[in-house]
Structure 1
């Protein structure tokens, strides 16, 4: 397996482990905003699932064929709907949905032949490779995962200080 493909799949596999670990936090922590006025941990995790589905169904099948890609969805609408769903779902449901969709994406990535990871394709005015496309999605995950880690550490620090 080429290094680029391995790197992306490895991140996605680790992301499942990270999200599975969130099953051990309290409901209060799960429903805590990552910053004042921002999404909760639940909403952050919940919004990743529809984007994985979009990539799986509306990007991967069309990247290396002639013709234009299907139009992307309205980002605000997708995110708002995902946030609403995450508020209504249990933690277990949101985590299970994430894991299920992420596994499907990983399976699809394994099916892509190694040489395709460096072939150029165009989205709008941007020329990308599969690796550069997924590297930006990995950065997006890592940004949100670091926000979650930060808020969870802050909650633990506040609890510790309050117990003194």
Structure 2
């Protein structure tokens, strides 16, 4: 059993529950900045879903094929658009969109054979394992979740 794979999958499963728990926030909390001059909780959660969609649709299908990976989106532009959308839509919509896409990503990740998690993949000029790739994404999530948790006391 690949322990790193199990830890990553557990993170993704817990991340869904964590974001679900944010439904209990009142609107002022949901719209509060995680730190001075930083995004709000709404914007943080709102930017994660589009990246999950990108990984689900533009990375996973290509990782073990000979086809070239589609070019990644401009991160600043995608994040800015996601933040705007999160400011305009309700908490329920933002949370539900996150849960829907994250669940689809989680289910897809579970289907990847265990043996593939340690194979090298190439993204741009980088070579890494699938485990390392997903670990990096999980660490990004955890960074943001820790910011939110520090606000919630």
- Give TM class, smaller chain: over 0.9
1:152, distance to aligned residue in structure 2 (A): 2.1
Distance 2:103 2:9 in 1: 10
1:5, distance to aligned residue in structure 2 (A): 2.2
Partner of residue 161, structure 1: none
1:67, distance to aligned residue in structure 2 (A): 3.3
What does residue range 1-164 of structure 1 map to in structure 2 within 5 Å?
Answer: 2-153=2-153
Report the count of equivalent residues: 153
- CA RMSD after TM alignment: 0.9
1:3, distance to aligned residue in structure 2 (A): 2.2
1:2, distance to aligned residue in structure 2 (A): 3.0
1:126, distance to aligned residue in structure 2 (A): 1.1
- SS in structure 2 of the partner of residue 20 of structure 1: helix
Q: TM-score, normalised by structure 1?
A: 0.90
- SS in structure 2 of the partner of residue 33 of structure 1: coil
Q: TM-score, normalised by structure 2?
A: 0.97
Q: Is there any run of 5+ residues in structure 1 with no aligned partner, and where? A: 154-164
Q: What is the CA deviation profile of residues 86-132 of structure 1, one whole-angstrom value per residue up to 9, with x for unaligned ones? A: 00111111000000000000110111111000000111121111100
Distance 1:62 1:7 in 2: 23
- SS in structure 1 of the partner of residue 36 of structure 2: coil
Q: What is the CA deviation profile of residues 44-86 of structure 1, one whole-angstrom value per residue up to 9, with x for unaligned ones? A: 0000000000000000000111132110000011101110110
Could you list the structure 1 runs, at least 4 aligned residues long, displaced by more than 2 angstroms after superposition.
1-5
